[in-house]
Structures are given as structure tokens and as C-alpha cells.
Amino acid sequence: MINRGYYGEFGGGFIPEILTTTFDELVDAFERVKTDPSFWQEYMHIISTYSCRPTSLTFAENLTRYFGGARIYVKREDLNHTGAHKANNVMGQGLLAKRMGKTRVIAETGAGQHGVATATMAARFGFRCTIYMGEVDVERQRPNVFWMERLGAEVIPVVDGTRILKDAINEAFRDWVSNMDGTHYVLGTACGPHPFPEMVSYFQSVIGKEAREQILERENKLPARVYACVGGGSNALGIFSAFLDDPVELVGVEAAGEGLDTERHASRLASDNGSVGVAQGYKTYFLQDRDGQMKETHSVAAGLDYVGVSPILAWHRERGRIRFEAATDSEVLDAMSLTIRKEGLIPALESAHAFAQAFKEAADLSVGDIILINQSGRGDKDIFTIAEAFADPGWKDFIRKKGNDYGA
């Protein structure tokens, strides 16, 4: 079934020859720690004493009443240190890099959450740190850039291509090729060449393990459906992995942006816009033209506009184990508003995609059913985008005054 990083026809490791030794070293190190209980213990220790595991499972009582169907539960990955599930992966890869004797880490980031998590891990573990971020994302996620730099990371804006996540990944690989010996590339999602998809999912599997136990303890039954947003696929695989062998419907929600019938979305699996190809070192569904050139993507959520998707998710789609849907920017903003008002939860724009799809379907399920939504991160980072979307006059005034203070 899984053959050195293949999931059906997807995955693999299409890497430049110069990186072969580095990847072999990484595969060996990862294989060793998977069978070393002391590594998992060390990992659990750091994510529970430094990050905030186990994260809570919250019953969304008011939303449940509002929709009048299934009981809605939210897995609170927003409560991780640095505000998103990204912390689970970086802490694991950081420990691995330490065991491999590395002194420097590099990473790509889109929404900035993975960049902040990596910079935080680097500060804690004493690594030098460089973060690559598309120039467009640098502009829309400026608060995260601020924190990465305060944490001691060098943030390099990427000006090539469409200046978003895929371009940042290209630059990070370029850096790695020139600095293989002392550097580990902390890839932030379950994509890229083997062993990254497996390794990132492995570290994120803690989400599903906890959520499954918590829901059984609270309700004594499994959820009917689990919803997670899908950028590269790491939070979705993290929560879904514990339910794969259960009679539970798993729903991955992509960014429909301004609509699936426009060119401004990032849906690779929920629609027939994606096609199979090899890029960035692995085989999966990409948004590409007939010549294999990557297309421009769009989402209101910076973390969901990647052109590729985890090969593991592509395989689960082919075998019909996971259903894929997509939510538009405006559905997402509505779902976010409702969640804030009804529950006092502030989901990240990425996570709000999962809420939006769950809300479309909640009333169709019966009152005895349970819905589980993964809140992959918190929405504070999105304040600029959200204030703009809601045309908040007080916020505009505040920004104008700040601009005046800085003589802009």
C-alpha cells in the first residue's frame, strides 16, 4: 500500500541528485525515531509543557441550538502556543533536527503561522533560522512577519513567480541545496518529497488521537462527520488519521475563493480543476495549465492558496475515503462572523472554511449525531483582512491615525 512514500500513484521523491544524501539521512533519522519510544516521550513532553497539549474539545452549544441538527464540537488547535496546529509539526521536526546535529533551520510560510511556529521553535532550541515568505503574503500577514523577526529569524520576502506559498517553497529548496550539511528544512505541511508527507502527518496525528479519545469520553460515541480545512493537508490529516478505520465521514474543505467557476480559487480536489502532475518533488493534483505551468490561485485565507495538495489526501480521494468540498470567501466570512458572535470563538480564516461547510450540512443530520470541526488556528492574525472585508470604520480610522503617526 505505502511504498517509500507512495500512496497509490501519488507521492514519491523527485529530488535533484545533489539532495539525495540529505534525503537519505532524513529518511533514516525519521525511521529510527518512529521506533524509538523515548523520542515520542520527549515529543509529548515538549508539546504538553511548552505548547498546550492536550488542546480542549469545546461543545458549541449555541451553534448546535442555532442549526437545530447535529451536536457540534470544536477541536481547539487555536490553543497551541503560537496559535495554530503548526506547532505540533515544528516541535517534532525540531527535535529530529537536534538529533541529527543540525544547527540551522529554514522554512517556507504562507499565512505566517508556520513561520512563527518555526521561529519560536528555533529560539527555544537554539537554531539559526531563515523563513521564506512570498512578498504578497508578507504584505497581508505583516504582524506574523513582525513576530518572526522579533523571535530572531531572518525573513526573506520571495519576489519570484506569483510571490505566494509555492514560490516560498521553491526558494527554501534552493537554500537547502546550498546548505545541506548543517541545515534542516522544516516543511510546514504534508506535501513535498518523501518523507515529508508522512513525517508531517505523523507529528500532526496527535490532534486526531486526542479528539477521538475526548469525544468518546464525553459522548460515548463517534462523530458522524469530521470537518477540516485543506491547504497542503496537515491539519486535515492530523485529525482524520484517528478516524480512518471508523464508520465516520471525513470532509476536507478547500478554498473556493471567488467561485469554482472563476480562475480565483484554490480547489485541487473538490472540483475537476486540478490535474495530476509532478512538481516541487512529488506527484499529486496541482492547479496547472495544459503545459504543466502552475496557475495563479486565490483565497481570502493565505494558508489555503497552495497549488498542490498532500499526496496522501489525493490518494484518499481516489479511494473514496475522504469527501472534498470547497467554501467561497464570502461563505467563510459569514461562518466566521457567526462563530464569533454565537460562541466567542475566533477561528483563523483557514479554519473558518471547515466551519462554513459544517454549517451548510449541520441541519441535515439528526439531533443524535455529532459533528467535529477542527479549528486549526486562531483568527487574530487575520485582523487586517477581516476588518477590510467588514469595512470596519473604526479600524480604518485607527490605521489612518497610525499612518499619520509614522508620517505616511
Ligand X SMILES: Cc1ncc(COP(=O)(O)O)c(C=O)c1O
Task: Convert residues 352-391 into a mask of x (bound to ligand X by CB under 6 A) and - (unbound).
Answer: ------------------------xx--------------
Under the criterion CB under 6 A, does residue 348 sit at the interface with ligand X? Answer: yes
* Residue 392 burial (CB count, 10 A): 14
Q: Are 352 and 332 in contact (CB under 8 A)?
A: yes
Selected catalytic residue, list 75, 77, 86, 283: 86
Under the criterion CB under 6 A, does residue 111 sit at the interface with ligand X? Answer: yes
C-alpha distance from residue 408 to each of 394, 400, 401, 402, 404 (Å): 19, 9, 10, 9, 6
Task: Convert residues 235-274 into a mask of x (bound to ligand X by CB under 6 A) and - (unbound).
Answer: xx--------------------------------------
Among 54, 110, 192, 257, binds ligand X (CB under 6 A): 110
Of the listed pieces 51-59, 234-242, 356-364, 399-407, which binds ligand X according to CB under 6 A?
234-242
- Label the pairing between strands 275-279 and 282-286: antiparallel
Among 229, 242, 256, 327, binds ligand X (CB under 6 A): 229
- Cβ proximity to ligand X, 223 vs 231, nearer residue: 231
Q: What's the DSSP call for residue 273?
A: T
- Cβ proximity to ligand X, 208 vs 365, nearer residue: 208
17: left (phi over 0), alpha (psi -120 to 50) or beta: alpha
- Find the shortest distance in angstroms from Cβ 87 to ligand X: 11
- Cβ proximity to ligand X, 283 vs 378, nearer residue: 378
- Cβ proximity to ligand X, 167 vs 350, nearer residue: 350
Of the listed pieces 36-44, 111-119, 265-273, 316-324, which binds ligand X according to CB under 6 A?
111-119
- Total binding residues for ligand X by CB under 6 A? 21
Q: Enumerate residues 6+ apart whose C-beta is below 8 A from 134.
A: 110, 157, 158, 161, 162, 163, 164, 165, 167, 168
Under the criterion CB under 6 A, does residue 108 sit at the interface with ligand X? Answer: no
- Find the shortest distance in angstroms from Cβ 218 to ligand X: 24
Q: In the range 161-220, which residues lie near ligand X by CB under 6 A? A: 189
Helix axes 20-34, 196-219, angle to 10 degrees: 30
Q: The dihedral of CA 217, 221, 225, 230: what is its sign?
A: positive
Among the listed residues 202, 190, 402, the one whose alpha carbon sits nearest the alpha carbon of residue 314: 190
Q: In the range 31-90, which residues lie near ligand X by CB under 6 A? A: 84
331 classed as catalytic: no
108 classed as catalytic: yes
75 classed as catalytic: no
- Cβ proximity to ligand X, 119 vs 365, nearer residue: 119
**CA pair distance 65, 195, nearest whole angstrom:** 44
Under the criterion CB under 6 A, does residue 158 sit at the interface with ligand X? Answer: no
- Find the shortest distance in angstroms from Cβ 65 to ligand X: 27
Among 74, 95, 187, 230, binds ligand X (CB under 6 A): 230
Under the criterion CB under 6 A, does residue 145 sit at the interface with ligand X? Answer: no
- Find the shortest distance in angstroms from Cβ 89 to ligand X: 8
- Cβ proximity to ligand X, 251 vs 365, nearer residue: 251
Q: Are 201 and 241 in contact (CB under 8 A)?
A: yes
- Label the pairing between strands 6-7 and 10-11: antiparallel
- Residues forming a β-bridge with 14: none
Among 12, 54, 303, 311, binds ligand X (CB under 6 A): 303
H helices of 110-268, where?
113-125, 135-140, 142-150, 165-178, 196-219, 234-240
Selected catalytic residue, list 241, 299, 310, 376: 376
Q: In the range 21-40, which residues lie near ligand X by CB under 6 A? A: none
Among the listed residues 170, 202, 193, 175, the one whose alpha carbon sits nearest the alpha carbon of residue 26: 193
DSSP string, 59-126: E-HHHHHHH-SSEEEEEEGGGSTTSBTHHHHHHHHHHHHHHTT--EEEEEESSSHHHHHHHHHHHHHT
Q: Is residue 133 packed enough to be buried (19+ CB in 10 Å), middle (13-18) or exposed (0-12)?
A: buried
Q: Is residue 322 packed enough to be buried (19+ CB in 10 Å), middle (13-18) or exposed (0-12)?
A: buried
Q: Are 347 and 336 in contact (CB under 8 A)?
A: yes
Of the listed pieces 135-143, 150-158, 268-276, 345-353, which binds ligand X according to CB under 6 A?
345-353
Catalytic residues: 86, 108, 376
Sites of contact with ligand X (CB under 6 A): 84, 110-111, 113-114, 189, 229-236, 303-304, 348, 350-351, 376-377
